[in-house]
Structure formats: C-alpha cells, structure tokens
Amino acid sequence: MSEEALLQLADLDRVLDRLRAARAGLVERTRVEEIERHLRALSAELSDVEAARVPRAGALRAASAESERLRARATQVGARLAQSVNAREAESLHEELDQVTHALETAEDAELTALVEMEPLDEAIVTMKSRAQPLIEERAELLETIRDLEETLDEESTARSLEREALATTLEPSLRQRYERALQRVGGAGAARLVEGRCAGCHVALAPADLDERRRAPEGEWTDCPSCGRILLG
Ligand SMILES: [Zn+2]
C-alpha cells in the first residue's frame, strides 16, 4: 500500500518537475527576447536618424518662413513700383525689389537643401518602421501563445499538485517526511525504483553490500539509495 503510494507520488513529482521545466523553457520566450533585441537596436537607430532630422527640419521651417515673408514683400514692392510716378522713388523700389528677389533665391535654395538632406533620412525612418512592424506583430502573437501555454501548464500543475497533496496525506507521517526530505535534497522525485541492481533515479548501481542490506530489510521497510538518497522501491 505505502509502496504503491510512494511510486505514484514519485511519478507525480516527476510530472510536476517536467511541467515546471516546460514552463521555464518555452522556446517562444527565446524568440521574444531575440525580437526585443532587434527592436531595441532599431529604436536606437531610429533615434539617431530622428535626431539628425531635427536641425534640418528646423532649417526648413526657418527658410520657408523667410521665403514667405520675402515673397509678400516682393509683391508689395512690385505693386508700389507699378503705381510709382516719381523716378527716384521708382529707382529705389527697383533696388529694393532686386535685393528682395536675391534674398528670396537664397531662402529658396536653403529650403531645397534642407529638403534634399531630409529625404534620405525620411526614407530611412520609413524603412526602419516597416522593419519594426512585423516584429511587433510577431512579438504580440508569441506573447499570446506564451500566455496560453503557461495557462495550460499551470492548470495541469494545479491539478497534479492537488492529486499529489491528497496522495501524500495517505502516507504515514514519518515516511512522508523521509520522502519530502529526499525530494528537497535531490529534486525530481523522492523515491525511485531499483531496476536490475541500479537506482532508477540516479542510475548508479548498488554495491553488493547495499543490495544485501536491502534484501534483509523487513517487509514494508525500504533503504535509501546510497548515491542520491532517494527511497529505493520495487
Ligand atoms: Zn539513486
């Protein structure tokens, strides 16, 4: 009766151990970490390009505002020139119009330069964002898969743990204590079968003296594996 319970307990503990290992070692998590490394690198690259774009965008805004102001001024001067009847005033207006036109060309050149410099940066930003997008989607899918898998594994673990608790309470307290101590010390399970002179827990062969001692043990008493300390059954 106790031996059967110990064997079942050992089986359940091995299952619980495998469930814990499966939860800790989900391959999806490795891929998520890889994706996050990629995304961090992309984000750093994006920050650099965006930082390089800032002064150009500022220059473009300034040049555009200046062009606009100069165009308005040119229109104004042109209108006054059209109405001018005084030769000296007309000459002075002509002079101003030339200056304004020249300044406008300079401002428009500055606008164009800023635009030309911004173009590859804008393209790079679009490329980086389009590279990040599928990674972000893949990560979201993986995180959902991980959540589902963890939920399934946790449900299974909870069910098995309840089963284990119910079983463990059927053991005589000192035997249970012995089992739990062995389990804590060695992990996996606290008992193992003896198969062809070897402990099935640690796979170490028992010395002839240990096998003798085991044979001499009274019914319902078990020796521990000298190598791993698990209760030897069977
Ligand atoms: Zn052993």
Mind listing the pLDDT tens digit for each residue in 38-73? Answer: 999 999 999 999 999 999 999 999 999 999 999 999
Chain CA centroid to CA 17, Å: 25
One domain for residues 105 and 195: no
| Whether this model's pTM surpasses 0.75 | no
| Same domain membership, residue 144 and residue 32 | yes
If one counts the domains in the chain, the total is 2
Residue 29 and residue 112 share a domain: yes
Beta strands in the chain (DSSP E): 191-195, 198-199, 231-233
Q: What does the pLDDT average to over 165-190?
A: 96
Are 154 and 180 in a shared domain? no
Distance from the CA of 16 to the center of ligand 1, in angstroms? 19
pLDDT at residue 147, as a whole number? 98
What angle separates helix 87-168 from helix 173-186, to the nearest 10 degrees?
140
Q: Ligand 1 center to residue 204 CA distance, Å?
A: 6
pLDDT band at 220 (very low <50, low <70, confident <90, very high): confident
pLDDT at 1: 62
Distance of CA 199 from the midpoint of ligand 1 (Å): 5
Give percent above pLDDT 90 in the chain: 93
Asked whether residue 14 is assigned to any structural domain, the reply reads no
Look at residue 100 in the predicted model and tell me its pLDDT. 97
Indicate whether 142 and 189 sit together in one domain.
no
Q: Do residues 144 and 61 share a domain?
A: yes
- Per the prediction, the chain carries an average pLDDT of 95
Domain residues for 52?
25-158
Ligand 1 centroid–CA 223 distance in Å is 11
d(CA 234, CA 223): 11
**CATH code for the domain in which residue 122 is found:** 1.10.287
For residue 214, the CA-to-ligand 1 centroid distance in Å is 14
Q: If you measure from the C-alpha of residue 11 to the centroid of ligand 1, how many angstroms do you get, rounded to a whole number?
A: 15
Joined together, the tokens standing for residue 81 give: 């020139």
Tell me what the mean pLDDT of segment 18-37 comes to. Answer: 96
pLDDT of 206 over the 80 cut = yes
Tokens of 22: 């499966």
The pLDDT tens digits of the residues spanning 78-135 come to: 999 999 889 999 999 999 999 999 999 999 999 999 999 999 999 999 999 999 999 9
Q: Is the pLDDT of residue 212 over 80?
A: yes
Mean pLDDT of the 169-177 span: 95
Kindly tell me if the per-residue pLDDT of 148 is higher than 80: yes
Looking at 104, 124, 158, the residue that finishes a domain is: 158
Query: 202 alpha carbon to ligand 1 midpoint, in Å?
Result: 4
DSSP letter at 49?
H
If asked whether residues 148 and 195 sit together in one domain, one would say no
User: Which pLDDT score, from 0 to 100, does residue 85 have?
Assistant: 86
User: Same domain for 114 and 41?
Assistant: yes
pLDDT(155) > 70: yes
Residues 101 and 126 in one domain: yes
For 203, the enclosing helix (H) or strand (E) is none
